Chain A
Amino acid sequence: MTPTILEQVQQIASDVFSVPKESITENSSPETVETWDSIQHLNLVLALEEKFGLQLSPEEMEQMRSIGQIRATLESKLHSTPS
């Protein structure tokens, strides 16, 4: 079974922030995850770009202030881009 976009984002966030996957929810954000600082945010963005094979614009990077928003951004981007 292919993991959903949310599951993949949770895994990447868990790797990048060094926290258990179970602790990452749609509501996780820089306010709730201690290790989510600006450098780690960049690392997260790069890990997502590498994983999903896309490039995120500065505007999109700005929007992605929680795991839920990241999922939404990725979903709209992946569905609008013909593959």
Chain B
Amino acid sequence: MTPADKVLGLRNDIDQLIASGSADLAAARLGELWHNESSPAAAAFIVSRVEKLRGRIALLPYRVAILRSFTVEPAVPLLRAAAFCYGIDLQVHVGDFNGYMQEILDAKSSAYKFEPDAAILALRTSDCASDLWQDYARMGSADREEAARRVVGTFEQCITSFRERSRATLIIHTLEQPARLSLGVLDSQVEESQAATIRTINRDLQNIARREPGVFILDYDALVSRHGRLSWQDERKWLTVRLPIAAHQLIHLANEWLRVLIPLTGKIAKALVVDLDNTLWGGVIGEDGMSGIKLGTEYPGAAYQALQRVMLDLAQSGILLAICSKNNSDDALEVLEKHPGMLLRPKNFSAMCINWNDKAQGLREIAAELNIGVDSLAFLDDNPFEREQLRGSLPEVCVIDLPEDPVQFAPTVRDCPVFERLTLSREDQQRTALYAQQRERSHAEHAFQSKEDFYRYLAQEAEVAPVAPATLARIAQLTQKTNQFNLTTRRYAEQQVSEMASRPDWQVLSIRVKDRFGDHGLVGVAITRDENSVCEIDTFLLSCRVIGRSVETALLSHLASGAKARGCKRVSGWFLPTKKNAPAKEFYRQHGFECQSQNGEGSLWVLDLNRQQIPCPDWIKLSVRNGEHS
């Protein structure tokens, strides 16, 4: 069967599966089609079939508005098809052609009416800085500086106006460099160069975005240069239909958009689980032995080292690494501990499952050990059979399709959008170490007679504090990522959290915890709102790292006494069940709340502050920090 026959057959299969009601299988086949053929035609096919499947498969809805100065419509189906493969039902609103300014300024514009979760501001340099683009050689020095300042000022105005009218995340394209500079090679010799002027504008944009919560930069110039400026553009299409990008490059723009959107949707991988033989090194350790496997600075071993280097980078952004390999444990550990070509060592892995069991079983165990959902795992294996089998038994895992050539392993993993992050907290950078401490803690736990003894031994210290600029990103991140101990699973962007905190009747609290084994960092969030003497808990969550050691009681205790001090008579809160938050189900009942009502979405619980108190467990030393702090 030729590849062309295969994708044709797939289309027929998909339509039959949809007709016969097998929605999940149809969705899986649509993913396969996109993997085989990421073309505009396949994208159109996938988008139209997803419309038919909506409501029958689990997809996360997300809304994006694109404000632009050029034709982007043909990239939209590509973006939607790609997003679908990561479980996202993306609705896209494209603003009026070159009407971005009016749309941002008009609070009633269709862009705001669309109520996007995120907006992308995509401007061509030739549109928003046309003098710098086409008249640069003939401009005086003062005019050049003035033009650059004006462009940055326009962007600042866009950001301010947008923020006044919308809480959506804003993604701004950097300005691209011209493929042919106005001054030619002279441009690189002079101080006031055209390229340097555009670089300065882009650097200023990055600085502005770093200051503004919920504003992020998409480096469009880097994207264009990565794919080749001359091959990126299609001047004829620009002049006729105002599409500046060549047909075969549109997929790269769509993928880059997706790389920024994935971390915003929360559809990220928290751990990368890797195979060993022919994935982390070339060859099979059980057959080739320590001296036979390929791993080192020369080809082909260098390709495997390149992959290991990517994995070390991922660990720096807080992605946990784990091993799932069918192997003799001793053979594998010898390589991990002693092989001179290994860049990864046992300490880099937070879980290892090296045995001859089925890999689906291994991944379930790894998820349980790391205390994360199976759908937060990404799986890397050179063996297509293992990948297919895993897709069949654990469809929620993100299975990475490795090409056959090991040289392509590192770039394939690097390109995978589930590893992208837009912010990096201190917790992210230390995550591997935190999990290592966690393992020591679990060992200690087994040695105690009662839970309380163990809690006392832990010597936990908790500090509650209101949200501060330094903790805003982590608090928003926790609302976006926490699935298990989360009473309402409400997801908030940074700017939404900061808006709530600015209101007098709202409280946004965070809790940090440390114990004898180390610092857990900021691990819990509570958001409440006082209304008519009732303190309603909008959000109450705890990172999975500290579930089951009564930190939640400490936080609730502080929340309840604070509410009482403000004159509230009752504390109320919803429990909204999801597939994953069973650990939080009994929380209110266990703390003396009474169930007041129930509806299709969840149950409402109330605590009478005059009759009930919530003491802080005596084994947790709770301190309170008020006001601004670092």
Q: Chain A residues in contact with chain B, CB under 8 A?
A: 2-3, 11-12, 15-18, 39, 42-43, 45-47, 49-51, 53, 55, 57-58, 61
Min CB distance A22 to B, Å, is 12
Closest to B12 in A: A21
Q: Does B45 count as interface, using CB distance less than 8 angstroms?
A: yes
Within 8 A of A (CB), among B229-255: 234, 236, 239-241, 243, 246-248, 250
Q: Report whether A58 and B74 are in contact in the complex, using a CB–CB cutoff of 8 Å.
A: no
Q: Give the interface centre of A15, A43, A49, A57 by most chain B CB atoms within 10 Å.
A: A15
Which 6 residue pairs across A and B have the least CB separation, nearest first? A47-B40, A18-B48, A15-B41, A49-B247, A46-B247, A15-B45
Query: Considering the chains assembled together, what is the distance between the CA atoms of A2 and B2 in angstroms?
Result: 9
The contact sample of 8 A-B pairs, CB cut-off 8 A, is A3-B8, A46-B40, A47-B44, A49-B247, A50-B40, A51-B41, A57-B236, A61-B240
Complex Cα spacing A3 to B6, Å: 13
> Of residues B39, B40, B239, which shows the largest number of chain A Cβ atoms within 10 Å of its Cβ?
B40
Question: Is there an interface contact between A55 and B73, defined as CB atoms closer than 8 Å?
Answer: no
Contact between A42 and B73 (Cβ–Cβ < 8 Å)?
A: yes
Select which of A16, A49, A55, A61 is within 8 A of B44 by beta carbon. A16
Nearest CB on A from B343, distance (A): 39
Q: Is B77 an interface residue (CB 8 A)?
A: yes
Q: Separation in Å of the A71 CB from the closest CB of chain B?
A: 16
The yes or no answer to B4 lying at the interface (CB within 8 A) is yes
* B39 adjacent to A47 (CB under 8 Å): yes
User: Which residue of chain B is the closest to A21 with respect to CB atoms?
Assistant: B11
For chain B residues 11-64, which have a beta carbon within 8 Å of chain A?
39-42, 44-45, 48
Please, which residues of chain B bring their CB within 8 A of the CB of A51? 39, 41
Compute how far the CA of A73 lies from the CA of B239 in the bound complex, rounded to whole angstroms: 21
Partner of B250, one of A39, A46, A55: A46
With known contacts A46-B40, A47-B40, A50-B40, A3–B4 Cβ distance under 8 A: yes
B48, A55: Cβ atoms under 8 Å?
no
Q: Smallest Cβ distance from B386 to chain A, in angstroms? A: 32
Judging by beta carbons under 8 Å apart, are A43 and B77 in contact? yes
B41/A47 in contact, CB under 8 A: yes
**Separation in Å of the B233 CB from the closest CB of chain A?**
11
CB pair B248–A49 under 8 Å, yes or no, is: yes
Interface centre among B48, B234, B239 (most CB of A within 10 A): B48
Contacts of A11 in B (CB 8 A): 8, 41
Q: Chain B residues with Cβ under 8 A from A55's Cβ?
A: 234, 236, 246-247
Residues of B within 8 A of A57 (CB): 236
Q: Are A43 and B4 interface neighbours, CB within 8 A?
A: no
In the complex, residue of chain B having the shortest beta-carbon distance to the beta carbon of A20: B15
With A42-B74, A49-B248, A61-B240 given, name 13 new contacts (CB 8 A): A15-B41, A16-B44, A39-B73, A42-B241, A43-B74, A43-B77, A46-B40, A47-B44, A47-B247, A50-B248, A53-B248, A55-B246, A58-B236
Contacts of A47 in B (CB 8 A): 39-41, 44, 247
How long is the Cα–Cα vector from A58 to B235 in the complex, in angstroms? 11
Does A15 contact B44, Cβ atoms closer than 8 Å? yes
> Which residues on the B side are within 8 Å of A45 (C-beta)?
247
The B interface is mostly helix, strand or loop, or mixed, namely helix
Report B's interface with A, CB cutoff 8 A.
2, 4, 8, 39-42, 44-45, 48, 71, 73-74, 77, 234, 236, 239-241, 243, 246-248, 250
Return A47 CB to nearest CB of chain B, in Å. Answer: 4
Question: What secondary structure prevails in chain A residues at the interface with B?
Answer: helix
User: Residue among A43, A49, A58 with the most chain B CB within 10 A?
Assistant: A43
Task: Choose from A2, A16, A49, A50 the contact partner of B4 (Cβ within 8 Å).
Answer: A2
Which of A3, A43, A46, A58 lies in contact with B240, CB distance below 8 A?
Answer: A58
Write the chain B residue with the least CB distance to A40. Answer: B44
A68 to chain B, nearest CB (A): 19
**B39 / chain A contacts, CB cutoff of 8 Å:** 47, 50-51
Residues of B within 8 A of A18 (CB): 44-45, 48
CA distance A16 to B248 in the complex (A): 16
B404 to chain A, nearest CB (A): 23
Min distance, Cβ B119 to any Cβ of chain A, angstroms: 21
Task: State the Cβ distance, B253 to closest chain A Cβ, in Å.
Answer: 12
Complex CA–CA separation, A17 to B40 (angstroms):
12
What separation, in Å, do the CA atoms of A9 and B74 have in the docked complex? 18
Q: Which residue of B lies closest to A3 (CB)?
A: B4
Are B247 and A50 in contact (CB-based, < 8 A)? Answer: yes
Give Cα distance in the complex from A17 to B234, angstroms.
Answer: 24
Residues of A with C-beta under 8 A to B40: 16, 43, 46-47, 50
Chain B residues with CB under 8 A of A46:
40, 74, 247, 250
Cα–Cα distance between A48 and B391 once the two chains are bound (Å): 32
A51 to B43 Cα, complex, angstroms: 13
Residues of B within 8 A of A58 (CB): 236, 239-240
A16 touches B73 (CB 8 A): no
Q: Across the interface, do A42 and B243 meet the contact criterion of CB distance under 8 Å?
A: yes
Q: In the assembled complex, which residues on chain B have CB atoms less than 8 Å from the CB atom of A16?
A: 40-41, 44
CA distance A50 to B249 in the complex (A): 9
Which interface residue of A17, A47, A53 has the most chain B CB atoms within 10 A?
A: A47
Closest to A53 in B: B248
CA–CA, A45 to B243, complex, Å?
12
**Closest CB of chain A to B14's CB: distance in Å?**
12
Which residues of B are found within 8 Å of A17, using beta-carbon distances? 44
Tell me, in angstroms, the Cα distance from A39 to B250 when the chains sit together. 15
By a CB distance below 8 angstroms, the chain B residues around A15 are: 41-42, 44-45
Query: Bound complex: CA of A32 vs CA of B220, how far in Å?
Result: 40
Given A42-B74, A55-B236, A58-B240, residue A12 in contact with residue B41 (CB < 8 A): yes
A47 CA / B40 CA spacing, docked (Å)? 5
In the complex, which residues of chain A have a beta carbon less than 8 angstroms from the beta carbon of B41? Answer: 11-12, 15-16, 47, 50-51
CA distance A18 to B2 in the complex (A): 24
Whole-angstrom distance between the alpha carbons of A11 and B39 in the complex?
A: 13
Chain B residues with CB under 8 A of A12: 41
Closest CB in chain A relative to B557 CB, distance in Å: 57
